[in-house]
Amino acid sequence: MPDKPSVLFVCVHNAGRSQMAAAWLTHLAGDRVEVRSAGSAPADQVNPAAVEAMREAGIDISAETPKVLTVDAVKESDVCVTMGCGDTCPVFPGKRYLDWALDDPAGRGVAAVRPIRDEIRKRVEDLIAEIAPEPTA
């Protein structure tokens, strides 16, 4: 793993799970990790329930926009975390791939998105501990 690992979060619409995961990783790891997110079929906007759920946790993702998954984004990432996008993510040798089975927040209210948000935070915390732990004094 390089000094500053890079992580790409991918879901179908890049409107819920991958946006929340990218926000958590940025929030919790700061500049220790390079963070990207993308979707195989990006939506027009980030899911409003995901925006609200993250706002409740003190993180503003309202200015984020769904981005299309590119081969370059995968090539430039050390870890690629897929969340329900199946086989649409290109696979390159030497990359680490994780598949997080998480409920899709699409079409759900904020009450249903909160447990998804909290599960993503837990998984992101585990990922940080593995790839970019806090420096020890």
- Active-site hit among 23, 85, 110, 120: 85
Distance from the first to the final alpha carbon of the chain: 21
- Active-site hit among 7, 8, 10, 11: 11
**CA dihedral over 118, 49, 38, 40, signed as positive or negative:** positive
- Active-site hit among 59, 89, 102, 113: 89
Check if the beta carbon of residue 26 is closer than 8 Å to that of residue 9: no
89 is catalytic: yes
Check if the beta carbon of residue 79 is closer than 8 Å to that of residue 5: yes
85 is catalytic: yes
80 is catalytic: no
Q: Which residues are catalytic?
A: 11, 85, 89
